[in-house]
């Protein structure tokens, strides 16, 4: 049985502690989803991910439809078989790639034409096909096809993106036929609060299983993002999960949780790890820096991850500087565990109604 239940709320804010039930298992919320763009979270195995505390992961419809393709994934037994992961999976719809690969796309009211970043071949994706592909993948949560306008675009372009997002959401809802799979709508509107309100109202009327806030963390800055989330989250149903897409830094996550958001994803833990950037509760560390040459301490003293139990900062710095794979792998393990520890702390503070105090602690300013 799928669904969402709010277990308790923070008396001092809009933060919620919840339980998301999916076909492949339950997820404690607020939750952070590691990103496995092409079917794998870079640098770690599914078993390691589970041991690090991840309960749900994200995969990318656009990239997987190109390679290995929808038919091979379906014949293998679905996305869970391909990824070797028996827990919940959320797939995005491909809509974000319209933004990130904008030079390769053509958009009209019906859908999107991509020039594949792999070989340049023309690929067409509309609301119906994006939904059917995710149905066939067998993921636990599918996302509607949406249109993410660039930050600072003209008002006419913003309005057009919202209109298309609403129309496509209706078509996704009509097409969706997988009783074991939830379908989330995505609100757009940039940082225009009236646009956000109109988009949210139209999507809520369609009665999706959950709702995402898309089109943020694309250059608008922390203050604009928080203002938009604080305005949008209360417009979404209290009894449905709320998902802020592509966010982000720890301070952004905490601020969004305070506004009532339940789910997050971002490539930062893994991408930053490959660039020798380690997250800690006291602020970030740059693992290539000379200050770590003889430092026998772990990345973070009270972290229980494999990297912190077995390796020093000096060793990890050395691995990066001699280009050993182990450096990025160990930092990836630590960063992924850091994010799960962060979410666990957030959930604990919600239960104690002390999340606002956590957010205003000085050290989070270094990670916004």
What amino acid positions are annotated as catalytic residues? 92, 265
Beta strands in 246-290 (DSSP E): 263-265, 277-278, 285-286
- State both tokens at 55: 């309960």
Give the separation between CA 349 and CA 8, rounded to whole angstroms.
11
Element containing residue 83 per DSSP (H, E):
helix 79-83
Partnered with residue 18 across adjacent β-strands are 6, 29
Give the separation between CA 360 and CA 368, rounded to whole angstroms.
12
- Residue found by looking up tokens 């390679």 in the block: 67
Give the separation between CA 328 and CA 273, rounded to whole angstroms.
6
CB of 219 within 8 A of CB of 151? yes
344-352 LR contacts (CB < 8 Å, sep 24+): 344/53, 346/15, 346/30, 346/253, 346/254, 346/257, 347/17, 347/28, 347/29, 347/30, 349/10, 350/8, 350/9, 350/10, 350/15, 350/16, 350/17, 350/30, 350/257, 351/8, 351/17
Counting every residue written for the chain, the total comes to 368
Give the separation between CA 188 and CA 166, rounded to whole angstroms.
9
DSSP string, 210-235: EEEE-S-SSSS-HHHHHHHHHHHGGG
CA 42 to each of CA 33, 65, 67, 81, 331: distance values in angstroms, whole numbers, following the listed order: 13, 19, 16, 17, 12
CB of 343 within 8 A of CB of 30? yes
CB of 93 within 8 A of CB of 61? yes
């Amino acid at each position: 049985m799928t669904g969402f239940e709010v277990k308790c709320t923070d008396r001092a804010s809009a933060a919620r502690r919840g339980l998301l039930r999916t076909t492949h298992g339950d997820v404690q919320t607020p939750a952070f989803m590691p990103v496995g763009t092409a079917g794998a979270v870079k640098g770690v195995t599914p078993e390691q991910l589970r041991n690090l505390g991840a309960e749900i992961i994200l995969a990318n419809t656009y990239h997987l439809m190109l390679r290995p393709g929808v038919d091979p994934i379906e014949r293998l037994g679905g996305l869970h078989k391909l990824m070797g992961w028996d827990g919940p999976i959320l797939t995005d719809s491909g809509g974000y790639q319209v933004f990130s690969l904008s030079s390769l796309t053509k958009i009209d009211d019906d859908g999107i034409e991509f020039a594949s970043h792999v070989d340049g071949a023309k690929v067409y994706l509309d609301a119906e096909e994006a939904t059917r592909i995710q149905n066939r993948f067998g993921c636990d949560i599918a996302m509607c096809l949406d249109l993410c306008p660039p930050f600072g675009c003209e008002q006419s372009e913003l309005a057009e993106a919202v209109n298309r997002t609403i129309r496509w959401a209706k078509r996704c809802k009509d097409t969706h036929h997988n009783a074991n799979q939830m379908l989330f709508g995505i609100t757009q509107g940039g940082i225009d609060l009236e646009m956000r309100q109109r988009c949210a109202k139209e999507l809520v009327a369609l009665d999706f299983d959950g709702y995402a806030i898309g089109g943020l963390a694309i250059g608008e800055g922390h203050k604009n993002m928080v203002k938009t989330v604080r305005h949008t989250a209360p417009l979404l149903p209290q009894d449905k999960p709320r998902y802020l897409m592509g966010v982000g830094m720890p301070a952004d996550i905490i601020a969004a949780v305070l506004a009532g958001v339940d789910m997050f994803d971002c490539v930062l833990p893994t991408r930053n790890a490959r660039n020798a950037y380690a997250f800690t509760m006291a602020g970030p560390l740059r693992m290539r820096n000379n200050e770590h040459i003889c430092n026998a301490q772990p990345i973070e003293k009270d972290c229980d991850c494999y990297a912190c139990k077995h390796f020093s900062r000096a060793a990890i710095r050395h691995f990066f500087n001699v280009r050993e794979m182990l450096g990025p792998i160990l930092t990836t393990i630590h960063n992924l565990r850091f994010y799960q520890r962060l979410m666990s702390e957030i959930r604990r503070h919600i239960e104690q109604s002390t999340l606002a105090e956590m957010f205003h602690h000085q050290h989070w300013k270094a990670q916004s």
